[in-house]
Structure 1
Amino acid sequence: MYVILVYDIGEKRVGKMLKLCRKYLSWIQNSVFEGDITEVRLKELILGAEKIMKKEEDDSLIIFSSRSDKFLEKQIIGKERSSTDNFL
């Protein structure tokens, strides 16, 4: 499945969340990640994120999912921070 993940968490926890999300997805902009991921790995990511988050401090995680990136149209205006293309 293809996901776009966006988080908004307290400053003290941003580094941990960034490190966690980079294990699973490609970083594309501040607090925004995208990429192909299996359901099992997505569940691992969510469980890890829930351990970092403090809901009482209004931390949030939003995940948009689709069967494939082919069903999404992406338009980049300005500089692309990180290309999601993988070259071997």
Structure 2
Amino acid sequence: MYVILVYDMGQKRVGKMLKLCRKYMNWIQNSVFEGEMTDVQLNELLYEARRIMKDDEDSLILFKNRDKKWLDKQIVGKERQSTDDFL
């Protein structure tokens, strides 16, 4: 599945969440990630994220779709990191 993840963390936890998300997804902007994931990978990421987060202060939002081809993405301005696949 194709996932877009957005998080808002307390300052002390931002670095840990960034490191965790970069293990599984492409970093496209501050606190925003995207990428293809399996159900197992997503469950692992969510399990680890819950260990970092404080439920009463932090949030994590997921947008999921079965396939990237159904997502229309438009970039205005400079792209932080290209997510194009190179062969």
Place the TM-score, normalised by the shorter chain, in its bin: over 0.9
TM-score (norm 1): 0.96
TM-score (norm 2): 0.97
Identity %: 69
Residues 5-38 of structure 1, C-alpha deviations (whole Å, 9 max, x = no match): 0000100000000000000000000000000000
| Structure 1 segments of 4+ aligned residues over 6 angstroms from their partners | none
What residue ranges of structure 1 are gaps of 5+ in the alignment?
Answer: none
Give the match's secondary structure for 2:4: strand
CA RMSD of superposed structures (Å) = 0.7
Residues 15-70 of structure 1, C-alpha deviations (whole Å, 9 max, x = no match): 000000000000000000000000000000000100000012x2000000000110
Distance 1:69 1:32 in 2: 16
Matched residue count? 87
Which has more helix, going by share of residues? 1
What residue ranges of structure 2 are gaps of 5+ in the alignment?
Answer: none
